[in-house]
Structure 1
Amino acid sequence: MHPKLALLPSLFLSIATIAQPRLPEGYFWEKLDNGLEVVAIEKPKVPLATIEIAVRNGAYTEGPEYSGLSHLFEHMFFKANKDYPSQEKLLKRTQELGAIWNGTTGVERVNYFFTFDHDSLEAGLKFINAAIRFPVYRQEDMAKERPVVDGEFQRAESDPGFQIWYECQKKLWGDLITRKMPIGIHEVINTATPEKMMVIKDKYYYPNNSILVICGDIHHEAAFGMAKAIFGDWASSGFDPFVKYPIPEFTPLAATQYFVKESSIAQTPYEMYWWQGPDYRNDSAATVAADVFSTILGMNSSKWQQALTDKGLATAAQVGYTTSRYVGPINIFVVPNPNKLKECNDEILRQIKMWADDDYFTDEQLQDAKQIMRRNDIRNNEKPSDLPHQLTFYWTSASLDYGTDYINNCMKVTRADIKRYLSTYVIGKPYVAGMIINPEMNKATKASENFKPNL
């Protein structure tokens, strides 16, 4: 959002009201006077309705002193509020509604969602309205929930995959690591107070920084009417949170870094390679090309899979990219053959150098990858309760238009688009490479000596 718009909040809301996004058939959009975007999705397959509310919040809004508190805030959403003054009463109400519910915290989104009988739509909207607008942060609730959230962190730390991921992230993002790590910091989580919860709420939990999605066996006119009646008096912040509290730009990697981490729980070695990739704000075209190319590499017929898994150098060799508003990461995850660690690493680097070659993939493979993505999209659209998750992800990390046009844009990706993506973000660019291995295997295979760049 352009900084100058923050100086004219009322004008911005007036203009934005008529900025109708492109949406698929059966999707309907309105923006309330307070800035809350509402999307109604008519999918009358089964007599159920799903409500999801998402907020532009998460790890990217957190400096070190608040790291992990967006996640704790998400957990506290399901505690006491004005209408349900204890968690017991809140949970009893979810049972009365027959609701299946949950929430997630990511790097750029926090979302809360409920699925229940479509006849309970108005009651469900009132329920989620009370939770998001009128939380009550009781000391006893926080005392119970802090160890729950920290316990998630501790369980993750017992996974060698998380351990190597975490070490790579620290090197990839440097001093801004907390802006990419939703799980947080132990000390911050365990000392969180109700006052800190209110800081998060007062920065980001406003209608003009949120989207409400109502999906299922519904009629959009009735859904919009209920949304206006229930959420219409939710006061706008009067400011753009990302102008008032700007996200710092990530510092580009200065040089490639390799490291080996020993861990007794790493019975099988894992390797990860990470690049700072494109983001929606600056290069949305490359975000789509990245996904198409990753799909090509995932095909059994690809040179990448044939060179690594088919020849026994690795049991898994996955390449991925995460669409982001602020620097999307590109990553390779490999489970190498412990007896061929040097050969595996050498082959990975050899393959990467060839990625942008004209003959690295065929025209048929490019078309097959696009059709895989198209079929996956069709399958993803089969479950109505999943549609709000997809939509709110695009809303937070890209835009509604981006999500609507995504598959069509994938179908338009050319070799030149992929080559530009690779030459801009991967080929010859600095990266972080890490391996986790147990001490005995490290000594026996001399992994620390052999895991290094080809100079």
Structure 2
Amino acid sequence: MPAPFGARPDLRHLFIAALLAVAIPAATPQLLPAQSRAELAKVVRRKVLTNGMEVIVVENHGVPIATLEIDVRNGAFTQSPEYAGLAHMYEHMFFKANKDLPDAEAFNDRAAELGAVFNGTTQEERVNYFLTLPADSVAGGLRFLASALVNPSFRDDELKREKEVVLGEYDRNEAQPGFAFQQKATELLYPGQFSRKNTIGDRTVIANVTPAQMREIQRKYYVPNNSALIVTGDVDPEKVFVLAEQVFGAWPRGEDPFKADPIPPIPALDGNKAHISEEPINAVAVLIQWQGPSVGKDPGATFAADVFSDVLNTPGSTFQKNLVDTGLWQGVGVNYYTLNQTGPISISGQTTPDKYRAAMAALEREIARFTDPTYVTTRELEAVKAQRTVSSAFGIEKASEIAHTIGFWWSVSNLDYFIGYTDTMAQQRITDLLRYTTTYIAGKPRVTSVLLSSDARRSIGLTEKELLAPALRPVVRP
């Protein structure tokens, strides 16, 4: 399924697309422009049903449409190796037969009757399903979603057909330049827990999926107290709350899936890791990653991470002037991807074989300055904080986009994180950035990955041993 609009992209996922172009830094999802906690609290209404399902409503009567979204705390992070890729497989099966609709054709016909467009996405820590439809179809749309959510059929014939569709997606991903490179980098960054970061999954697991596995995912994770209903657009919140209770209220509360089956912690890296991949590309692509903060354990660091990345990615920053403006790098970007289960910190960029060592030496000098209190100025800090507040692309008038954004933050953290984001960003100081870089980057184990052609590797004599000891690189002045 296509990537959700409004969620913070992971630079690793943008990396493949950028291999043959100038690196484009990933951005944090922007929230509502100039919306403080107090202002958001006025327009974002919420209620928890008796069964534990959270209902979130954002009212806007500008256009007579509404978006209905279900978010479930499921995704790659719940996957043991024998389930790798099956959270995504389940997402596909959501749009098939259920108790009220006998097959996928009937599902599509009912969506057409409602005037709805629909889709779903799977990420590391959330799966979402959404409809955008005329506002007068909200009640029917909620019942339509409830049938698929609560009473899926998992027909064997539909599962057999749909797994071929998912395998086709796998094939298309695998055919892209850098797919194996990215997979290996992720495997090294999360030792022993790759399946919990591997959304696309394992081909053999997907090929042998069974209805019983789908029902096990349903039993554990598709329970109301692990789900949220988000409704945005031309709606009355009080009427939505009443409808939600009528439609979903009888759905029985389940056992907390993360108490019954806790997610194992991500092991810390025990030292620097490195790998080199060879593919027929013209550039030398570099990806350096650290294990970053968990939004659940260290939420403060996630705000500092966003600000720090913004400063470094701003044209004219010291980082960009010393790396890109010198011509050593064609492009370079910094990103932190917010997750509860240890989000990655990434620096990715591209250079050319003849400039590779000078470019890497320059990058190492910049990384060494990340804990310098003068590296980021107060002026730069205030500028990026202001930009995040006022230049949002996700206005409250865009019902579908704000639904996806709220759903992402609810899943990886909680609604309060979303509502307080702008206020907390505005409180960041240089000392917060230093705490972040000191805790998660400076002197910490990392994974360095390089992708280049076989000819380029031979011409510069690059080895993994060299990547493992960055401090030993010669300092080459640009």
Report the TM-score, using the length of structure 1 for normalisation. Answer: 0.92
2:256 alignment partner in structure 1: 240
**Percent identical residues:** 38
Change (3 A) 1:448 1:382: farther
Say which is worse superposed, 110-119 or 359-368, in terms of deviation: 359-368
C-alpha distance in 2 between matches for 1:310 and 1:78: 49
1:377 alignment partner in structure 2: 392
1:102 alignment partner in structure 2: 119
Change (3 A) 1:70 1:436: same
2:91 alignment partner in structure 1: 74
Q: State the one-letter code of the partner of 1:194.
A: P
Post-superposition CA distance 1:243-300 (Å, at most 9, x none)? 0010000110110112211123x34321101101111221110011000100001100
Q: State the one-letter code of the partner of 2:250.
A: D
1:157 CA displacement: 1.9
How does 1:132-143 map onto structure 2 within 5 Å? 132-143=149-160
C-alpha distance in 1 between matches for 2:85 and 2:394: 33
Q: State the one-letter code of the partner of 2:117.
A: I
2:7 alignment partner in structure 1: none
Say which is worse superposed, 437-446 or 282-291, in terms of deviation: 437-446
Post-superposition CA distance 1:35-66 (Å, at most 9, x none)? 11101110112110000001111111110000
SS of residue matched to 1:242: helix
How does 1:326-345 map onto structure 2 within 5 Å? 326-345=341-360
1:317 CA displacement: 0.6
Which has the bigger relative contact order, CA under 8 A and spacing at least 6?
2
Equivalent pair of 2:284/2:356 in contact (CA under 8 Å): no
Q: State the one-letter code of the partner of 1:256.
A: N
Equivalent pair of 2:62/2:397 in contact (CA under 8 Å): no
Q: From 292, 300, 308, give the equivalent of 1:277.
A: 292
C-alpha distance in 2 between matches for 1:33 and 1:195: 29
C-alpha distance in 1 between matches for 2:170 and 2:283: 22
C-alpha distance in 2 between matches for 1:373 and 1:446: 43
Change (3 A) 1:337 1:267: closer
SS of residue matched to 2:289: strand
Number of matched residues?
A: 433
Equivalent pair of 2:394/2:402 in contact (CA under 8 Å): no
C-alpha distance in 2 between matches for 1:140 and 1:72: 14
SS of residue matched to 2:128: strand
2:28 alignment partner in structure 1: none
C-alpha distance in 2 between matches for 1:124 and 1:395: 22
Equivalent pair of 2:272/2:447 in contact (CA under 8 Å): yes
| 1:255 matches 2:271 | yes
Q: From 79, 100, 113, give the equivalent of 1:62.
A: 79
C-alpha distance in 1 between matches for 2:44 and 2:256: 26
How does 1:33-432 map onto structure 2 within 5 Å? 33-237=50-254, 239-264=255-280, 266-377=281-392, 379-432=394-447
1:161 CA displacement: 3.6
C-alpha distance in 1 between matches for 2:215 and 2:224: 16
1:12 alignment partner in structure 2: none
Post-superposition CA distance 1:383-426 (Å, at most 9, x none)? 12111111111111111111100111111100000000000000
SS of residue matched to 2:170: helix
1:454 CA displacement: 2.2
Change (3 A) 1:362 1:258: same
SS of residue matched to 1:212: strand
1:163 CA displacement: 2.8
Report the TM-score, using the length of structure 2 for normalisation. Answer: 0.88
SS of residue matched to 2:199: coil
Say which is worse superposed, 82-91 or 367-376, in terms of deviation: 367-376
SS of residue matched to 1:160: coil
Compute the RMSD of aligned alpha carbons.
1.5
Q: State the one-letter code of the partner of 1:45.
A: G
Change (3 A) 1:312 1:436: same
1:325 CA displacement: 1.1
User: Unaligned 5+ residue runs, structure 2?
Assistant: 1-36, 473-478
Equivalent pair of 2:85/2:205 in contact (CA under 8 Å): yes
Q: State the one-letter code of the partner of 1:88.
A: E
